[in-house]
């Protein structure tokens, strides 16, 4: 069984930053990623809010992060981690066919955005359909957009979007929002927001970009079609949790609870990026978490060896 001081699980911005820091510390570590390195960066067209870089494409930032790692030597596994066990101060991982052992583990496996489940949804993702208003709202300034969702996050993002767009149509499956009253009041006061209650989005239309959305009333079954250039799907998200051990402490939504140094409740196990319990899930915060986690993991190793 291959044995390491540290293993990083996931090579999105959190994992790639953790790798850069561990490499510069000279740690013996491995990076395990099931896909192409870059994580969600590879789904982003242009990034408007990464400090110091003007509108890089997502893949350009991913390539640059990879390029920075080229001068360092560490092991890479391109495979999926399916299980992990924390026992006697060590962590063992099932990574594809390989069993790996490590003194410290940094979990950077990200999250899944809940989707509508429509046939053309993937085709329009990044071409009108977005799962993050904080990230993409600016691309829709002065245009007509929709938002699917009814919770606190959906309403918060709707208020933020309404300030930028010409018209916002809010689609919810329920008869009323499941959100704080204060947010509901804010939304109702906005003149450019039209709320459609008890409806389901049934189809997305367009050639290469989203052009319109069809909805069906859950009461009458009647259908309507609205022209719009953007649709924000804010139906919640869930961490990539398939391999979590039972003892790992999670928040009510299933995200990993850490302290400010990215330490979980399991000694030697750290979490960074979108997978941990926090409010701001962005590239820059994922990178910051990755740096902090690597630093904390290295301090943990130094203390263990002292
Ligand atoms: C469409 C879109 C647009 C966005 N736009 C912006 C933006 O403009 N600005 C901004 O700051 N943020 C933006 N974001 C958010 C940003 O991309 C994320 O906050 C950031 O990528 C989180 O980084 P991460 O490393 O935590 O996770 P991720 O980027 O999700 O990386 C996780 C990695 O772990 C790997 N992995 C998962 N499970 C396993 C496993 N079991 N075994 C091995 N590997 C595994 C995955 O393949 C993935 O590569 C956007 C997100 C989306 C979806």
Judged against a pLDDT cut of 90, whether residue 230 lies above it is answered with yes
* 80 tagged catalytic: no
Whose tokens are 């790996």? That residue is 100
- What CATH number should be reported for the domain whose range is 115-233? 3.50.50.60
Report pLDDT digits (tens) over 232-266: 999 989 999 999 999 999 999 999 999 999 999 99
Write down the mean pLDDT value for the chain: 95
User: What DSSP element (H or E) covers 99?
Assistant: strand 98-107
2-112+237-305: which CATH architecture?
Answer: 3-Layer(bba) Sandwich (3.50)
Alpha carbon 79 to its chain's center: 20
What pLDDT does residue 173 have? Answer: 96
Report pLDDT digits (tens) over 112-125: 999 999 999 999 99
Atom 48 (ligand 1): residue with closest C-alpha?
39
Provide the 8-state DSSP code for 145: E
Using CA atoms, how far apart are residues 225 and 199, in angstroms rounded to an integer?
A: 12
Judged against a pLDDT cut of 80, whether residue 306 lies above it is answered with no
| Mean pLDDT within 85-109 | 96
pLDDT > 90 in the chain, percent: 90
Judged against a pLDDT cut of 90, whether residue 231 lies above it is answered with yes
* 280 tagged catalytic: no
Report CA-CA distances (Å) from 166 to 6, 140, 162, 226, 265: 50, 9, 7, 14, 47
**Positions of CATH 3.50.50.60 in the chain:** 2-112+237-305, 115-233
Using CA atoms, how far apart are residues 284 and 47, in angstroms rounded to an integer?
A: 11
* 136 tagged catalytic: yes
Please, are residues 210 and 231 in contact by the beta-carbon 8 Å criterion?
yes
| Mean pLDDT within 56-60 | 94
Indicate the pLDDT class of residue 149, thresholds 50, 70 and 90: very high
- Given ligand 1 and candidates 19, 41, 44, which is best to mutate, with the most ligand atoms within 8 Å of its CB? 44
What pLDDT does residue 212 have? Answer: 98
Using CA atoms, how far apart are residues 163 and 142, in angstroms rounded to an integer?
A: 9
Report CA-CA distances (Å) from 262 to 75, 179, 203, 206, 301: 23, 29, 41, 43, 15
What pLDDT does residue 171 have? Answer: 98
Report CA-CA distances (Å) from 191 to 85, 153, 167, 187: 53, 20, 9, 9
Q: How far is the CA of 162 from the centre of ligand 1 (A)?
A: 26
Report pLDDT digits (tens) over 34-53: 999 999 998 888 898 999 99
What pLDDT does residue 103 have? Answer: 97
């Amino acid at each position: 069984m291959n044995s390491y001081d540290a293993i990083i699980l996931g090579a999105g911005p959190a994992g790639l930053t953790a790798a850069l820091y561990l490499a510069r510390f000279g740690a013996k570590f491995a990076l395990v990623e099931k896909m192409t390195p870059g994580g969600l960066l590879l789904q982003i067209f242009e990034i408007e809010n990464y400090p110091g870089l003007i509108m890089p494409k997502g893949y350009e930032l991913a390539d640059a992060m990879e390029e920075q790692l080229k001068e360092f030597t560490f092991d890479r596994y391109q495979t999926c981690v399916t299980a992990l066990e924390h026992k006697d101060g060590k962590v063992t991982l099932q990574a594809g066919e390989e069993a790996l052992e490590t003194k410290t583990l940094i979990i950077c496996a990200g999250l899944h955005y809940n989707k509508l489940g429509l046939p053309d949804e993937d085709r329009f993702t990044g071409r009108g359909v977005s799962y993050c208003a904080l990230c993409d709202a600016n691309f829709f300034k002065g245009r007509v957009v929709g938002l699917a969702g009814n919770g606190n996050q959906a309403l918060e993002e709707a208020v933020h979007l309404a300030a930028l767009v010409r018209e916002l149509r809010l689609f919810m499956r329920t008869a009323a929002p499941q959100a704080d009253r204060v947010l509901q009041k804010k939304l109702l006061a906005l003149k450019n927001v039209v709320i459609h209650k008890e409806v389901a989005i049934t189809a997305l239309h367009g050639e290469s970009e989203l052009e319109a959305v069809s909805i069906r009333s859950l009461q009458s079954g009647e259908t309507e079609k609205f022209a719009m250039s953007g649709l924000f799907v804010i139906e919640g998200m869930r961490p990539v949790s398939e391999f979590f051990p039972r003892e790992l402490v999670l928040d009510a939504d299933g995200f990993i609870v850490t302290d400010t140094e990215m330490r979980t409740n399991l000694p030697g196990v750290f979490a960074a990026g979108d997978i941990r319990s926090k409010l701001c899930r962005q590239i820059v915060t994922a990178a910051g978490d990755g740096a902090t986690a690597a630093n904390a993991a290295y301090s943990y190793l130094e203390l263990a060896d002292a």
